[in-house]
Structure 1
Amino acid sequence: MPATPPTSALRPRLPTPLQPVMDPRFEARDVRLLLKRDDLIHPDLPGNKYRKLALNLEQARAAGHRTLLTFGGAYSNHLRATAAAGRLLGFATVGVVRGDELADRPLNTSLAQCAADGMRLHFVDRSMYRQKADPAVLTGLQRATAAEDAYVIPEGGSNALAVQGCVALGAELRGRTDVAAVACGTGGTLAGLAAGLGPGQRALGIPVLKGGFLGPEIAGLQRAAFGVPGTNWSLDDRFHCGGYARTTAELTAFADDFEQRHGVPVERVYVAKLLYALTVLSEEGAFAPGTTVTAVITGTPSA
């Protein structure tokens, strides 16, 4: 098998553009809202997915791996991005999917796209999935999928290399914003974003899962990537709407309205919760007058 091409073959759009948004809910508080359009970075690996995978893909290629093995839920954008990267770079891909009951159902659009890009899907029950980081369980999964020599990427792509890959996101915002905000699933993007910002800037994470567990996870990712955790980031856990991929009528109405006002597609799992949170925070007076807030748009509705 020929060597896989370098990740530069993915041809990302860097740096991604900053888009000002004129919204009276922010203007009334003298807050400037910008959108960091990371959803435009690559058609198949939007936003943080490209940034988190790029260094992992380079490492896998350099070490001679031919297969990528990773993990995700039924609607995982990370699985889709990994499958697309495999197709574009010549890696075989294996996706371990949470929920063995899904094996007997027709594939949803996300998993169907993974399969179309060549990913082999392996469904496991939720108990085993929770233990996927256990070395014995991981070895068993690799044997079950004939992927003993695979390069393993964790759920959501979040590891030290992913965090380091997201530093550039913060660096692209140096001197251009006061607050950089991003929706959080596993926390890797926020960990790198915060590390890339300059003095006087801070990062804000909006978790899309309930549980309040992300703080220690992000600190651990920064420690693994840089030796010490940073202090220029915070989380607001109020906007998960009950959990991952869950929504409310209010959130749906907000996202529809934002799209109509500004002509920007609003992805519902992550981006809608981020933009809604920033709107509420602005109306609460959480941002001082004159503050520039940048929302990192990490995906599109089709991603």
Structure 2
Amino acid sequence: MHKELNSFFTQDFISENQQVHLPALEEKKVELYIKREDVIHPLVSGNKFRKFKYNLLEAKNQNKKVLLTFGGAFSNHIVANAVAGNLNGFKTIGVVRGDELAKDLEKTLATNATLREAYKNGMTFEFVSRTRYRDKSKAEFINQLKEKFGDFYLIPEGGTNEFAVQGCKEILTRDDANFDYICCAIGTGGTISGLINASEKHQKIIGFPALKGDFLAEEIKKYTIKSKNWSLVNEYHFGGYAKYNDDLIRFINDFKKQTNIQLDPIYTGKMVFGILDLVKKGYFKKNSKIIAIHTGGLQGIAGFNQKLKQKNKAIINYL
């Protein structure tokens, strides 16, 4: 690893596999473990650490001084980019969806813990309209950003590229070879692609997309070398990205009480809900072992709870 990278990013983290004990699992004779990638770092946790590791190295090798990326107002990716960049001597720029947030930046930072943390770590914001944000992958938009900010190393929304997939391969270790199923929540497809590439022949990789649509399968195929040992389960997105219902919030709170493992409502909460529902339906073979990857994302709960309070809904019990 490049000597100029912060020592935190040169470490080879091996996360604990924590077993979950619940009546449904015992009844169906299925073992479930959670790989605790969420404890790597409070803000650069889980798959964010894995995705940034080799991207930061590549940015250093290209002698880049600035990292630029994209995300929403409560994006784990935005704040992780700011913190990772700050730790490694990069300036950071966040292109954030929602130009209304720029009208009163002081108020935005006061009421948004995610952007406040990113700002505290030196990130410069470029707030854009939702319409313009859709052009984030177009060359014309990228060139306009270069005209405004100069040269930068671009990390795509969600962080998925070949370097991210390389980092996500390191989530699995030799000791994980005894699991029959590897489960993962999916945003942009980078994490599951790394897991697929690192998996053993006998293992089945199951992805739980947080978004509607069938486009993710094609994205994953771009980065994977295996095609027959993975599948996507599309029934547990709860209506789409950042969508939820009372059952999901109740499930997350109950799971925390029963296991002392905190899940988030965007990714891991939906994944574990789906896994346990499939267990009850007999989807997993008897006496099989499942490992579910906890990809972090817990910092976004504060912002999510703000929205729940505004709607007079029950909040996620998060300390």
For residues 18 and 188 of structure 2, what CA distance do their matches in structure 1 show? 26
For residues 206 and 217 of structure 1, what CA distance do their matches in structure 2 show? 14
For residues 275 and 290 of structure 1, what CA distance do their matches in structure 2 show? 19
Match of 2:50 in 1: 51
The one-letter code sitting in structure 2 at the alignment partner of 1:137 is F
Contact kept? 1:210, 1:240, Cα under 8 Å: yes
Total equivalences in the alignment: 294
Q: Residue 140 in 1 paired to residue 139 in 2?
A: no
Structure 1's 200 and 251: CA in aligned 2 closer, same or farther, altered over 3 A? same
Contact kept? 2:68, 2:154, Cα under 8 Å: yes
Match of 1:160 in 2: 162
Contact kept? 1:39, 1:299, Cα under 8 Å: yes
Match of 1:236 in 2: 233
The one-letter code sitting in structure 2 at the alignment partner of 1:158 is T
Contact kept? 1:174, 1:198, Cα under 8 Å: no
- The superposition leaves residues 242-293 of structure 1 with CA deviations (integer Å, 9 ceiling, x where unpaired) of 1211211000111110000011112221111011000111011110101111
The TM-score, its normalising length taken from structure 1, stands at 0.92
Contact kept? 1:69, 1:150, Cα under 8 Å: yes
Q: Residue 123 in 1 paired to residue 127 in 2?
A: yes
For residues 230 and 120 of structure 1, what CA distance do their matches in structure 2 show? 40
1:212 is displaced (CA, Å) by 2.4
Match of 2:308 in 1: none
Match of 1:225 in 2: none
1:302 is displaced (CA, Å) by 2.4
Match of 1:194 in 2: 196
Q: Secondary structure at the match of 1:96?
A: strand
Match of 2:316 in 1: none
- 1:1-303 to 2 correspondences below 5 Å: 5-10=4-9, 12=11, 14-104=13-103, 106-107=108-109, 108-144=112-148, 146=149, 148-172=150-174, 174-222=176-224, 228=225, 230-299=227-296, 301-302=298-299
The one-letter code sitting in structure 2 at the alignment partner of 1:51 is R
The TM-score, its normalising length taken from structure 2, stands at 0.88
For residues 144 and 221 of structure 2, what CA distance do their matches in structure 1 show? 29
The one-letter code sitting in structure 1 at the alignment partner of 2:156 is P
1:172 is displaced (CA, Å) by 4.9
For residues 202 and 216 of structure 2, what CA distance do their matches in structure 1 show? 23
Q: Secondary structure at the match of 1:181?
A: strand
The one-letter code sitting in structure 2 at the alignment partner of 1:23 is L
For residues 173 and 166 of structure 1, what CA distance do their matches in structure 2 show? 16
1:104 is displaced (CA, Å) by 2.5
- The superposition leaves residues 167-207 of structure 1 with CA deviations (integer Å, 9 ceiling, x where unpaired) of 11134554231111111100100000111011201211101
For residues 241 and 163 of structure 2, what CA distance do their matches in structure 1 show? 24
- Gaps of at least 5 residues in structure 1 are 223-227
Q: Secondary structure at the match of 1:239?
A: coil
1:138 is displaced (CA, Å) by 0.6
Contact kept? 2:42, 2:299, Cα under 8 Å: no
Q: Percent identity between the aligned chains?
A: 38
